[in-house]
Chains A and B, each alone.
Chain A
Amino acid sequence: MRKLLNANFARLWKDKAFWCNAAVVLIVSLAESLQGSGSAQNMMAMGYMVTLDDYFYNNANMMGLFYAIFVSLFLGTEYSDGTIRNKLLIGHRRGAVYAASFLTCLCAGAVLILIWMIGSLPGLFLVGKLEMGITGFAVYLLIALGFTAALISLFTLIASLSDNKALTVVFCLGAWLVLLLCASGVYDRLCEPELQSGVMLTVDGLQTMAPEPNPLYVSGAMRRLLECVLDFLPTGQTLQMSNNEITLPARELIFSWLFTFGTCAAGLLAFRRKDIK
């Protein structure tokens, strides 16, 4: 296992795709940070109460895309170059190969989080400090690590089972997109207000309408279920983090751990049975 990890990390630091990915994460984070800081300054000038917290994690939603690209290229190369077969031939167990791949990608994910945070730093100088404080930041960082582990475990599963690199890219990107669309759908329904009111133009000028119940509002057990689904999906967590709306961090961390454990177990079982040509 130690040798496998050494080999994987030696390849990781030389991997062009990883460094390209890291550079794009840095550029996107910087752009998001500068754009968010500009918006925050405009809003403050207009008298709105905004903080850096509202903009600092904007990039969270995009992280899944970067993980999908990195994992599919990094692990896809193992199949296309035949190194995975070599590892098995010299006596490494399939479980160890799978675990080493997952751990390497997880470390790469942690590096990408670090780069994302570095890219978000200009906000500290342009807008001010984070209102959530160091504890809040640490909790958000843990959640970021949680959804990173969950997404990377899913992409490792896909990449370990598909021996065509190009198809792995399609499947990983597709899985991320589907998860993101599901989370967006659930999030939109949960954001529906309980009461809706509006403004009408009448002969007497503008009139505000009396609030009426919103038929799209989800309540009761269904609402609790949807909230659980949103917290369970890693993309639901990225969505909440980018909007600075995380309310139950402990539950999200537990769900991330469950998701990671479930996908790793499923991946390991399937990988053991896979015919590696």
Chain B
Amino acid sequence: MRKLLSANFARLWKSKVFWALEGLCFGFGVFAYALVAYNTHNLGQGWLRFNAHSYFYLWFFFIPFVIGVFTSFFIGTEYSDGTLRNKLTVGHSREEIYSAFLLTTMAAAFLFVLAYLLAVFLVGLPFSGAAVLTPVQAQPWRLFHCGLILLEYAALFTLFSMLDSDKARNLIVSLLAAGILIVGGMLVYRRLTATEFIQLVIPQSDGSLLLKDDAPNPEYLTGRIRMVFTWLTNLLPSGAMMLSLDKRLGIDWRTPCCAVSLNALLTTLGIRLFQKKDIK
């Protein structure tokens, strides 16, 4: 296992795709925090205090795509170059190989996020002030939740890449899965967080406008459907991430519990299926 990890990390540090994605994450962070500096300059510290949270966690929207591309290339190369077969031939077990790739992907996923966060320190702090770090100072537990969800993404995309030997096909599947997860997570989260009552503005016949408070919201979910949506949002990594990032919501232990359970489930399933895979 130690040898497999050493080999994986040795290849990781030399991987062009890894460094290109690191550069992309860092570049995106620089762009985002340049925008923050520009807006803070024009709109003041009040704007920054309100928006610091969204910008700090902006990486959430692109990290599934980055991990999907990374695993497709990194693990796909093992199949296309035949190194995976060599590892099996020299006596490494399939569990060890799978676990080594999972750990390497998890480490890479954290490094991608770190590259984005590096921009917070290099561009955000000097140009916008310490307020850019308020999301971490106020609720550090959110970072812990996000870390667990990041591991979930790593487990999911490792599973895809370990089971498909076609690099290009796996890349498309991973990117589509990332897109569907993000959109699906946002949709279920939006339905779950719809308020029970809304304000309606009704135009009157004399041209005036009537404000009606406490009108029932047709989007509000009740009963069993609400329970299903609650669990679905917690189970989907993107839904859980949206819940973890919602400033209005407090700590919810269902989110980390679901993340850990899904992580274990995906890894077990991945190892089982990889053991049965015919590696030509």
Query: Does residue A76 face the partner (Cβ distance < 8 Å to B)?
Result: yes
Q: Is the CB of A169 within 8 A of B172?
A: yes
- Asked if B175 contacts A168 (CB within 8 A), the reply is no
Whether the Cβ atoms of A166 and B73 lie closer than 8 Å is yes
Residue contact A201 to B211, C-beta cutoff 8 Å: yes
User: B73 — which chain A residues lie within 8 A by C-beta?
Assistant: 166
**Contact with A205, one of B69, B167, B172, B211 (Cβ below 8 angstroms):** B211
Check A73 against B209 for contact (C-beta < 8 Å): no
Per the bound structure, the CA–CA distance linking A208 and B171 in Å amounts to: 52
The distance in angstroms between the C-alpha atoms of A73 and B209, with both chains bound, is 57
In the complex, the answer to whether B167 meets A166 with C-beta atoms within 8 Å is yes
- Does any Cβ of A come within 8 Å of B89's Cβ? no
Quick check: A169 and B211 within 8 Å, CB to CB?
no
- A199 near B201 with CB under 8 A, answer yes
Residue among B76, B167, B168, B172 with most chain A CB within 10 A = B168
8 A Cβ contacts from B189-234 to A:
201, 208-211
Q: What are the residues of chain B within 8 A of A199 when measuring CB–CB?
A: 201, 209
- The answer to the question of A72 belonging to the interface, with a C-beta cut-off of 8 Å to chain B, is yes
Q: Compute how far the CA of A72 lies from the CA of B171 in the bound complex, rounded to whole angstroms.
A: 12
CA distance A166 to B167 in the complex (A): 6
A17 nearest CB neighbor, chain B only: B169
B171 A166 Cβ-Cβ under 8 A: yes
Contact among A73, A201, A206, A208 for B168, CB-based, below 8 A:
A73
Instruction: Chain B residues near A168: list those with CB within 8 A.
Output: 168
Interface band, chain B: 10 to 19
Q: A170-B69, A199-B201 are in contact. Are A76 and B210 (CB under 8 A)?
A: no
A73: contacting residue among B76, B172, B175, B211, CB under 8 A = B172
Contact B211 A166 (CB under 8 A): no
Query: Size class of A's contact patch?
Result: 10 to 19
Does A94 reach chain B (CB closer than 8 Å)?
A: no
Neighbouring B residues of A87 by C-beta, 8 Å:
none
Chain A residues contacting B209 (CB-CB under 8 Å) are: 199, 205-206, 208
User: Do B168 and A76 have beta carbons less than 8 Å apart?
Assistant: yes
Instruction: Map CB proximity to A onto B66-88 as digits: 1 under 8 Å, 0 otherwise.
Output: 00010011001000000000000
Query: How far, in angstroms, from A209 to B179 measured CA to CA in the complex?
Result: 41
- The smallest C-beta distance from A265 to any residue of chain B, in angstroms, reads 27
Cβ–Cβ < 8 Å partners of A206 in chain B = 201, 208-211
CA distance A76 to B69 in the complex (A): 17
* A165 at interface by CB-CB < 8 Å: yes
Q: Which 4 A-B pairs have the closest CB atoms?
A: A206-B209, A165-B168, A166-B167, A166-B168
Which residues of B are interface residues toward A (Cβ below 8 A)?
Answer: 69, 72-73, 76, 167-169, 171-172, 175, 201, 208-211
